[in-house]
Amino acid sequence: MKKHSPFFQKYSVSKIGESIFVPFVKMASRRLIFISCLFSFAYSIVIFRLFDVMVFSKIEEEKTVSQIDTSVAQIRANIYDRSAQMLATSLSTYSVYANPKQMIDPKESALKIAQVFSDLKYEDLFEKLTCDKGFVWIKRNLAPQEQDAVLKLGIPGIYFQKESKRIYPQGSLTAHVVGLVNIDGKGVAGVEQKLDVNLSQGVDPVELAMDVRLQHILVQEVEKSVREFSAKGGAGMVMDIHTGEILAIGSFPTFDPNQTSQIDPSAMFNRITTGVYEYGSVMKILTAAMALELNKANLYSVFDATHPIKVGRFQIKDYKGQNRPMPVWEVFLHSSNIGFVKMAQLVGVDAHKSFLKKMGLLDKPKLELPEIGYPLIPKPWKEINTMTIAYGYGLSASPIQMARAMGAVMNGGYLIEPTLLKSKEGEEIKKTRVISEKTSKLVRTLMRLVITDGTGKKAVAPGYEVFGKTGTANQQSGGKYHSNHVTTTFIGGFPFSNPKYLIMVTLDDPSPTKATFGYTTAGWNAAPLAGRIIRRIAPVVGIKPVIDEEDRAKDHMNLVQTKGILYAH
């Protein structure tokens, strides 16, 4: 009998042949059963784990399961003009992004994606797909065909996000008012920004007061004049003076909100609401209204404009001066600086200041736009400031502020906050009386004279009885005024017999042309621009032209000259 290996447990080997295996077989069987138990135990753990993973754990809310994110992005509300012309709408699109950490083969994926999008470069894509992030945009707002093509690539780690793309059907026409959204659908300019919360909730569309027809005429004519006079820019607006609704508002140069990549930031500057300017003679409307309202003068009070006024080392002169004493209506008609300075001096600094405050010239207007400029007010406000502000220098305000004040002058004396939103039917318009009905009518009378017999003759729109005032202001730069760089403005209203609309146009640094005989004053560029606009928009807004306008103009002049106007009121 051989000695046993120490590796084995001791079993007596007593039989020869196969029977010697019996104890071994018994042990092996026992051990086999032991192995079975081990396996059963291990498999029970697997089954327990299965139950745990499959029944108890829920997939986190995170969307890893579906490749297309079907959660409905809130569609941004549309913007319409007053007659439901679409100004801004949203198309629902898909954007494609990648999770580079889930990329199996970034090289191949980048190649495939580059084949779908001709505007994406393989190198850029490869860099994106190999970066150490869990999220990179590949392309925003795909066309349906592009989305289909990407889906068919079947690349793991590529996902779609439902988004919406903002479309502006009127393009640059309404750009400054409507504004635009950024790639993430957030308003970054214009009404889109100011009303972002309302719009993004997507509940009610926004209806603007704007009338696209008027907007089109305004923008077209302003652009024409800007080109004609090689001006740096131009702007204009049309407002309903009884409701404050802005029917048209345009600033040139403009931009196309549908081509965000090509926008020149300077073109986004809104000259009507953001820019603040000195207006020159246009300001005299307010000076006259103030003197009349405060009973410091009537149309026939005489102011001596014979001699320039000396203030310190400079003097206030008239442009094409009459060099004689004149009644107020002539001071207005000839736009005598000297006359208005004297008128304002009569009123006094404090009353002047509080009158302009009342007219809203010293406060930022509340318009539904984020791009609102603050007025530049002299500090301290001394006698000299009152004197210069009287004829339009030393106080800078935005055109929208001027329109607010002028609206009050024209509409019978109510200051109404201008608005870009359409007034709802039956809605009470908030108005504050700032001047009397009578003052309003007298100033309108004076403004009518400017059109019939003064600098505003070129603003005539036959039959629509325009009234208004031109203003040419020397531009200031480096602390000096330059007489060869001017801002020309026309503010007016129509029709005279039943004023309803305010129009304001302004040109930035217009150049003289042959047709203007070398002049760059507002009467030669802003006034004809306003006239052209009124001639086109008055029929659109449904104003019935008067057929005897010239006769009426003569009667009007006669009435003023014979002091008949005094008795008419």
Partner 1 sequence: MFSITKRDTSYIGRWWWSLDRWIVIATFLLLGIGVILIMAGSPSVADRLKLNSFYFARRHALMIIPAVGLMLGISFLSLKQIRYLAFAVFGFAVLCLILTPFVGMEIKGARRWINIFGFSLQASEFLKPTFAVVSAWIFYLYKKQPHYPWLWVALGGLVSMLFLLLLQPDLGMVVMISCVWCGQFFLTGLSLWIILIFAIAGVSGILGAYFLFPHVSSRIDRFLATSGDKYSDFYQINQSLDAFANGGLMGQGPGEGVVKKYLPDAHADFIFAVAGEEFGFFLCMFIAMLFVFILIRSFLRVIAEENLYLILSVGGLASGLGLQALINMSSSLKLIPTKGMTLPFISYGGSSLLALGLMMGMILGFTRKRFDPRQEF
Nearer residue to partner 1 within complex by CB, 37 or 376: 37
| Closer to partner 1 by Cβ: residue 66 or 259 | 66
Q: How far is the CB of 28 from partner 1 (least distance, A)?
A: 5
What is the distance between the alpha carbons of residues 469 and 114, in angstroms, rounded to a whole number?
61
> Could you count the other beta carbons within 10 Å of the beta carbon of residue 569?
12
Please tell me whether the peptide bond between 539 and the residue prior to it is cis, using omega within 30 degrees of 0: no
CB of 142 to partner 1, least distance (A): 21
Which residue number, 65 or 203, has a Cβ lying nearer to partner 1?
Answer: 65
Q: Report CA-CA distances (Å) from 258 to 80, 165, 182, 213, 340.
A: 16, 10, 11, 20, 48
- Least Å distance, CB 176 to partner 1, is 43
Q: Which is nearer to partner 1, 51 or 481 (CB)?
A: 51
3-state secondary structure of 440: helix
Identify which of residues 101 and 438 has a Cβ nearer to partner 1 in the complex: 101
Phi-psi region of 244 (alpha: psi -120 to 50; beta: other; left: phi over 0): left
Q: Which is nearer to partner 1, 7 or 314 (CB)?
A: 7
Whole-number CA gyration radius for the chain = 39
Q: Which residues bind partner 1 (CB under 8 A)?
A: 2, 4-5, 7-9, 11, 18, 21-22, 24-25, 27-29, 31-33, 35-36, 39-40, 42-43, 45-47, 49-51, 53-55, 57-60, 62, 64-67, 99, 101-102, 104, 134, 154, 156
Length of the chain: 569
At its nearest, how many Å lie between partner 1 and the CB of residue 73? Answer: 21
Strand partners, 139: 96
Measured between alpha carbons, how far apart are the two ends of the chain, in Å?
A: 149
How far is it, in rounded angstroms, from Cα 365 to Cα 566? 35
Q: Which is nearer to partner 1, 99 or 323 (CB)?
A: 99
Least distance (Å) from partner 1 to the CB of residue 41? 10
Specify the residue, 48 or 481, whose C-beta has the smaller distance to partner 1. 48
**CB 121, min distance to partner 1, A:** 24
Distance of CA 248 to the CA centre of its chain: 13
Q: CB of 71: closest distance to partner 1 in angstroms?
A: 16
CB of 14 to partner 1, least distance (A): 14
Give 395-425 as a 3 state SS string: CEECHHHHHHHHHHHHCCCEEECCECECCCC
Three-state SS string over 124-175 comes to HHHHHHCCCCCCEEEEEEECHHHHHHHHHHCCCCEEEEEEEEEECCCHHHHH
As beta bridge partners, residue 414 has: 433
